[in-house]
Amino acid sequence: MGTPQLAAVCLQALLDCPTIQVAAVVSQPDRPKGRQLRLEAPPVKALALKHGLQVFQPERARDAGFIDRMRGLSPDLIAVAAYGQILPKTLLEIPRLGCLNVHTSLLPRYRGAAPIQWAILNDDRETGVTIMKMDAGLDTGDILSESRTPIRDEDDAQTLHDRLAEMGAQLLIQTIPPYAEGKLAPRPQPEGASYARKIVKEDGRLDWTRPARELWNKVRGLVPWPGCYTTLPNADILRIWRTEVVPADGLPGQIASADKNGILVGTGRDSLRVTEVQRQGSRRMTTAEFLTGCPLQPGQQLGRGDST
């Protein structure tokens, strides 16, 4: 059970494992995407159909008809990766070995919807994946296994997602056999849980009164969605995709310099050099490219009209 690319990576690992047989795949329904709002299949469904697998797409996981179909399959185990809904107890009780979840954090840290983003936003130096036996709570089940990785300066939420997806897929297929044989005992999560709420579009607004390192983490943590933004002196929205911290004082939001090296902006502590941006209706580009068509001057202010 899963929906986005992370789930597709896990499904591929299960399909490649000769000792595991995939009976069916469950994903969220197809959703409208793009400017023309055409229905698009989730990545895990596209992969499942490629391999001729049966696919279920209930609107709600607690739908009685769907629950009956799952009972009819009589699965030994259900593997879950970023499905997008809390599973009801009636579903969790169907497989004799229960349901195992691939969660992209080191539980109990970052239970919830956006663990990858919040690990970067909170300036963590390490994260990982946890294979958890699911219960009726929100990521509260017992731990079976975990794998760790550092969060590197060059990471953003997309690169970290891709690495954790591969780690989670491999950990899942390493965990299932000893768990199924009764050789791996679940252990309760330790105390000290934290929660990773869902990211919303407004999270992308840059508040220049915050420290430069916090803004740098925000830019990295919100790639590819919603991305970070500010407003230009003419009130146009400017998306900001890449930055670096510079140990220099400056007034929050005020441009100190704008040249081929980037746009240097003051913050609440230190300064932030912006090196990759995007205007509305345009492509991502270096700030050197951007400045050829939209020159900025020292002393101008960013962020005065931020409201979108």
Tell me, what CATH number does 268's domain have? 3.10.25.10
Same domain, 186 and 272: no
pLDDT at res. 112: 96
95 assigned to some structural domain: yes
Q: Which of 139, 168, 196 is the last residue of a domain?
A: 196
Residue 139, exposed/middle/buried by CB under 10 A (0-12, 13-18, 19+)? buried
Question: Residue 58 belongs to a domain with what CATH number?
Answer: 3.40.50.170
Q: Are residues 64 and 172 in the same domain?
A: yes
Q: How confident is the model at residue 305 (pLDDT cuts 50, 70, 90)?
A: low
Q: Are 186 and 207 part of one and the same domain?
A: no
Q: Tell me, what amino acid is at 15?
A: L
Query: Which one of 175, 196, 217 terminates a domain?
Result: 196
**Beta-bridge partner residues of 142:** 133
Residue 129 shares a structural domain with residue 21: yes
120 and 166 assigned to the same domain: yes
Parallel/antiparallel/unpaired status of strands 237-246 and 285-286: unpaired
Residues 104 and 185 in one domain: yes
The predicted-structure confidence for 89-139, as pLDDT tens digits, reads as follows: 999 999 999 999 999 999 999 999 999 999 999 999 999 999 999 999 999
Cβ atoms 267, 212 nearer than 8 A: yes
| Total count of domains within the chain | 2
Q: Is 229 inside a domain boundary?
A: yes
Structure tokens at 231: 């407003």
Residue range of the domain that includes 169: 5-196
